[in-house]
Every structure is written in C-alpha cells, then in structure tokens.
Chain A
Amino acid sequence: MKKSNGAATVEPEYVQRFGLQFRVQHIILFLGTLGLIFTGIPLWCLGRPEYGWTQSVVRFFGPIATIRHIHRAFGVSLVLISIYHLLYTILTRQGRREFLELLPKPKDVADVMKNSLYFLGLSKERPRFRRYSYCEKFDYWAVYWGCVIIISTGLAQWFPEATGRYAPWLTYELAAEIHADEAILATLALFVWHFYNVHFNPSRFPGTLLWWHGRMSREEMLREHPLEYEKLMSARE
C-alpha cells in the first residue's frame, strides 16, 4: 500500500483483533458452556426414561446429585460472566465500542442477501464485511438470547419452591422443556455453525487459535473483514 505522497507503508503481518478482556470473557464463556453441555447430557437423559438408552447414559455419568451440583456450578459461572459482560459493555469504552459494532445494521441485511446470491452463483463477489460479519453478530446475539432463556429457565428449576409459589402453573414444566430445547439449539449451533465458521471451514481447517491470542493474519483480515482492515490502516495513517 502506498501513501498519497507515494511513500510505501509497512503493512502488519497480523492484526490484534480481540483484546485480553474479550478473550478472557470468551474463554470463561466457552468453558462454562462446554461444562454445562457435558453435565446437561445425563440430566436430559434422566427425564426421558421412555428411551431405554438414556438410563445407560445416566449410569455412565455416575451419581446424578453430584452431576446436578456440577451443572449448577457451571450455571453460576454462566450467570457471573453474563453479568460481567453486561458491566463491561456498559462501563468500559472498549465494551461500548464492541457493542456498537455488534449491533445489527441495514448493511447486515444487504450482506445476507448478497452472500446468498454469491452462494447461488448469481453474484461474483462476496459482501465486504466490517469488524463483524452478520454471522458473527448472529453468534453474539444468539448467546445473548440463549443466556436469558437458559439462565431464567435454569433458575426456575433450581428454585422450584419459588417457581411453584410465585409463577403461573406449569411454569416449572415449561422451564424444563424450554431449558432443554434451548440447550439443544445452543449445542447444535455451537458445534455445527460456530465451529464450522471459526474452525472447520476449508480456509481455517483444522482450526484457529484466534480465541487464544486474538491475532488475525493480514490475509485473513483482507478476506474476512476488508472494511475493518481498511479502517485500521487509515487510522494508522
């Protein structure tokens, strides 16, 4: 790249895409989520004795009371990281900036349309994304929605006495079903959609350590977030 006066600028090999705050929050979130999924399996199986295999799974995992306690401990970690992220978003400059970047905008709708046409071969160019593509925004807001649902329904089951006393009839049963449904959706979305986008798609296979060091290569930035890259470069200038 050349400056307007003709002098060449040294383009960085890597771009620091995510700061330490963001990465730590992400690591705590995914560790907690993986723990919840792992310990949630026997709890899901426990309530479905009509399928013969489920009880074998329950037995495989061991004492259900212990599993339930561990599940709740991971649940607490999810609650805490959610609260922390909320405070981070409100109270820090970086948090507010990231939040604003993650807000859905009309361009995202246009990008979805454009990408769909690209997939179908009706357009030769991919949409050019900013800091966050619509896929990443979907990931972020899916987690937001998921946390609200999962935490509220989890608490309803954790404290059945209060649920039975203060919430409408069948809230507990609804909470149990919604909790399980949302967990299944989150698990599928995580392992199928999110893992494909960040690890398993052909340009990244077999995976990336972006979540660990937060750095993205210049080539990848140009491919995945060209508008963000240009913005960064112009800011450097």
Chain B
Amino acid sequence: MKNGLVLTAFLCLLVFCYCAAAADTVPKLLGDESDGSMAHPIHRIPLLAEEGDEIGPDDDPLLPFSTKQTCGGVCHSYDVIATGWHFNATDANVPPGRPGEPWILTDGRSGTQIPISHRAWPGTFTPRQAGLSDRLFLKIFGRHLPGGGAGELDPEKPEDIMRSFVSGKLQINCLSCHDGDPGHNQAEYDAQVKRENFRWAAAATTSFATVTGSAKDMPDTYDPMMPEPLNDPKKVPPGITYRANTFGDKKTVLLNILRESPSNRCYFCHSNMYLTDEHTEKWTGDEDIHMTAGLTCVDCHRNGIDHGIVRGYEGEADTSANPLAATSSCRGCHLPGAGDEVPVAGRLGAPVPEHEDLPPVHLEKLSCTACHSGPWPGDETILVKTSRAHRLGTIGVNKSHEALPHIVTPVYATGDDGKIAPHKLIWPSYWASLTDQGITPVAFETVTSVVGAALADVERPVSGDWPALTIDNIVTGLKVVAGSVEGKPLYVSAGNLYSFDDSGDLSQEDDHPAAKPYLWSIAHNVRPAAQSLGARRCEDCHSPGAPFFFGKIAVDTPVENRAGSFVEMNQMHEASGPTHVAVNKFFKYMIITVMTLLILHIMGDLFRRFMTKMSAK
C-alpha cells in the first residue's frame, strides 16, 4: 500500500514536471528551425490578409497581405522575431547597449535638431519627451522603420485609435530585409507611410503589388474592409492591385525570400554619404574592405530566429543573448581565441594582425575601429549623410550637402568602455522649458508652429542649411515659447544654453550639460592594415596638428555668432585637453619671449659698441 502511494506520487511529479516544461517551451513552427539544407527554401505560399484570410485575385475588396499572417502564422514565430534588435526598441526591458544612431528630429526654420530614441541612450530624448505621439513618430520616421515595435504600439490618444483602424499598423516588414526580388522597392514604403497607408506599405514594396490612394485622406469612420464610395472625387481610398499571374494554383504566390539578407537590403537604412571634396560620389570612393573581400553585412551581423542581430562591438556579449556576440566583433574574428584555438587565421579566414612595432598600449586604449574604420581624418571633421537622418534612397530627397541634420565625423572620442573610437556627432539644437522635471524639449508641433511662425521672416538657405539665427531671433523665439509652455523657456544650441535672466535680459551658459553633443560609434567603412592610421608612420597621430588629437570638430549651430567655431579633438578624450593647450602655449610664448630678450641684448651690445667707436673717432 505504502509502495503504491510512493509510486503514484512519483508519477504525479513526473507529469507535473513535463507539464511545466511544456508550458515554458514555445513550440517551434515550420520555418523556425533549419533542417540543415544550405539551399534557400522556396516560398510558394498563400498570401494572408490581416485577419488571416487567404487572398485571391478575385477578392472584393482586394486586401494587402499581412506579413504577420503570411510570414508568421504557421511558419515563423512572429512574436519571437518581434524580440529582435530591429523591432524591440520600445521594450523598456531590453538593455540599450552601446549608444547607436538616433532618429533626428529636424526643423530648419526653428533651428531644431534633436536626437531621439526609444532606447535609453544618454543624450537622446524619447519621442514622448520631444512631444511626438507614437503615430506622429511613425509618420515622420516610419519610412526607415522595418516595422514592428513602434509600428505596432496600441495608440493612446482616442483620435489615434480611429486613425489606426483606418491606416493599419506597420507590422514587421520581413520583405525589407529578406526580399531577394530585384524589383523590390523600399522607397515605396516611404511613399506609403507619407500617405499613412501603413497596412499597405509592406505589400507596396513588392514587384507584384501596386498600392494607390491614401488613408490619410479618409475620414475616421472609413472601413477598409468594407469601403464605401466617397463623395469627394479627389480623395482616393487606399487600394491594392496584384500583377496578373501573381497567384498560381491554390492562390499561392512565389516570394523570392532569402534567408541571409542581401547587403543591398541593409543599405537602404544603413548607407553613409561622406561629404568630402574628393569622395562625395559613391563611384569615386572605395568600398569597405570586408565587402571588397566578398563578405556581406550578415556575415558579421548574424542572428537566429529571434533576430537578436549582432551589432558587432566589443562588450556586446555582456547584454546580448546572441551566442555569437563575443566572436563576431573585430577581435572576435581577427584574434585567436583563448588557448590559441585559431592559430593562423581568425573566423572566415580573417587575417590575424601582426601589429608589428605597435606598442601594445594602443590596443588597450584604442578600439580597433580607431585606426581601421571610417573616413581618413582630415584637419577638420566632415559632414556625413545617413539613410535614416537624411532619407537617403527615398523619392524627393534633398541632395544638397548642407541639408539638415548636420552630422560630423570622424570624431575620435572616448567611449563607455574607456577606449577611443571614431564616432559620428551631432550638436543638439532645440527649444526647451525648465520645470521641476528638468529641461525638456518643447513639443515638436508647438515648435514648428509657434517658433516657426515667429521666425518666418528669417531667410532660409535654399540648400536646406540652417538659417542664421541672430541673438534677436533667439530672444523672439524664447518670448513665444514662454507664452506656449510652462516653465522657463530655453534655447539649446552648440553646447550653449540661452535663457532670460531675472532681469529679463538674454543670458548664455557655455558648455551646458543639456547641450552636450550626442555621439555614436562608427565601424564602417573598414580600412585594411595598409590604409589604417599609423600604417605610414607613428606621426599619422603623434605629431603636432595630427587630426587624431588636434583635428577640429565643427560646432554646428544655427546661431549666427557661433558659426564656424571648433572644438579640438582631444577635448573628446578622457583626459583634460586644456592642460595640453596651456602647456603648449607656455612653451611657444617662452621661445618668443626668451629669444626677443636675447636678441635685444645683442642689439644693445652692438649699438653700444658702434656708438663707442663713433665717439672715439
């Protein structure tokens, strides 16, 4: 009897453990796990609409396919993919990792450029702090979002709930990375986002679908599932047509899906245009050495089904769940692991650097990128355009070199890991208010309407460059901001903070913490050993005026009297640059002073000898 009870209890424990384990394990779907074949799986699949219904060529209304249903559904775990780096910015539980490229909210007329990010990167503001609702954020930046994250947040404002039903959400756009179809047009995504056709945006990028109309023009009561004719002929409801012969047997469609994303897909959001005199046009410059060697972006930036892509910096493994995070950095590939397990070459045959005659202290104080990445430094930083900041690749982009926002590079600055690395940098310029909560930017829409109107008479360059804001313009702006927001009005730009003092006069605080520049590391283009800093000689860096220490970082601002000012590169290093400057000046002045005195002494002696001789005659 007693044995029977024990056996029963043991069996119950087993069943309990099994159930607990089963509950904790997410079942893997058809495409979540590779069967080992290195060939790309063919995706001849039905297209599914938002509600999961199969789409057929004769449907009425014809609906756009939903990536969540078509790619997710029964094949890939959408919720797991949604935890990936490209989609998890809005999840506060995800460690922010090393500061990266922010979204930059820009309005030239009001003298505004603010780095914003959902991630807690010091120096950035959240969209909400900048006064952007989730929907407004999408309307401005959705063009370069791969969907998911901010694109799928539930709206909070009542008016946005209705609009969200009309426009749909920006689901994770699997095609923006995995579509191998040469007819894929990511620029169309931008066009659809502008029209608030969020539900249609992913489908519009394919070569077999055409989207017309605009959800933006539709009333809040518009139902895309049961569209009713509109009275206004100028307002065209959003609609989609599929190219003839798109659908095969059983309504299946052949999608040219690639497991490894082609680099061309990455470039849409991650291109750089360095505005140097020599290499502005892409064809005049050289390619990243890794790409030249035949690698693609995803050879280093790898991920599994969870899409936790490797960003590729040292120390990433501390916060990343990606098991390859530690071995996919520069060192991870190029340096043998512990115990010299890779004795002659690193990952993918990466050459192990000799660094002959390079004092090892360099490897302690510099990141690999300091010498091997980014444009070759000149006496001054240069402007750089990026896809996300300057809408590169979209239709109607301003191709002027001076177009805002102004990002400068390469800036050699000490990172959080204590190593100096090349960075991109922007100087925030924004209107703000000082309240009990500290300094917060004035809501973007308020700035563009109120300050923009007050400064309407300020001439704006056709190039899209900053207008030249005078002190009077700043006073005008502060006055109108004071009438629109609570707290003390402020204007932040070029490291300075402008406000009214107690007597009502304009005061200026230099080097204010709220005005510090925001920097983020760069790693591309990678230069080979022969083109690295120091390859020619130590004097590449260790010489008077060498850009690494003494290059000029342009202080970018619309404030007229600060235009053209610079900060020396060593100010961005961990130690004090001013000491260097002071000592340096001391020796320069000492030479001049001592030699002046000595020469005066010689001249006095000569003069006296001459006079004595003359008087003797």
A: which residues have CB within 8 A of B? 46-50, 64, 115-116, 118-121, 135, 160-161, 164-165, 168-170, 172-174, 176-178, 180-182, 184-185, 188-189, 192-193, 196, 201-203
Contacts and interface: CB of A to CB of B under 8 A. Distances in A.
A177 B544 contact: yes
A46 B580 contact: no
15 contacts: A49-B543, A115-B604, A119-B604, A121-B608, A160-B542, A161-B360, A170-B549, A170-B577, A172-B542, A174-B580, A174-B583, A178-B584, A181-B588, A188-B591, A202-B609
Contacts of B537: 46, 64
Interface residues of B, number: 42
Interface string B348-379: 00000000000111101100000000000001
Contacts of A48: 543-545
A213 B577 CA distance: 51
Given A116-B604, A160-B359, A170-B549, A177 B573 contact: no
A164 B359 contact: yes
Nearest to A170: B580
A50 B588 CA distance: 19
A46 B595 CA distance: 25
B361 A47 contact: no
Contacts of A118: 608
Contact of A170 (B575, B590, B604, B608): B575
B579 interface: yes
B607 interface: yes
B530 interface: no
Contact of B591 (A168, A184, A201): A184
Contact of A193 (B362, B602, B609): B602
Contacts of A165: 361, 364
Enumerate the 4 nearest inter-chain pairs by beta-carbon distance, A residue then B residue, closest first. A47-B543, A119-B604, A169-B575, A164-B361
B598 A192 contact: yes
A104 to B, nearest CB: 16
A201 to B, nearest CB: 7
A100 B107 CA distance: 74
A178 B330 CA distance: 36
Contact of B595 (A161, A188, A201): A188
A176 B365 contact: no
B361 A160 contact: yes
B594 to A, nearest CB: 6
A174 B598 CA distance: 26
Nearest to B575: A169
B281 interface: no
B298 to A, nearest CB: 37
B539 interface: yes
Contact of A181 (B575, B577, B587): B587
Contact of A176 (B360, B542, B595): B542
A221 to B, nearest CB: 19
Interface in B324-368: 359-362, 364-365
A164 B608 contact: no
B573 A180 contact: no
A130 to B, nearest CB: 19
B539 A189 contact: no
A181 B580 CA distance: 14
B599 interface: yes
B574 interface: yes
A180 B609 CA distance: 35
A50 B545 contact: yes
B197 interface: no
A192 B549 CA distance: 33
Nearest to A188: B595
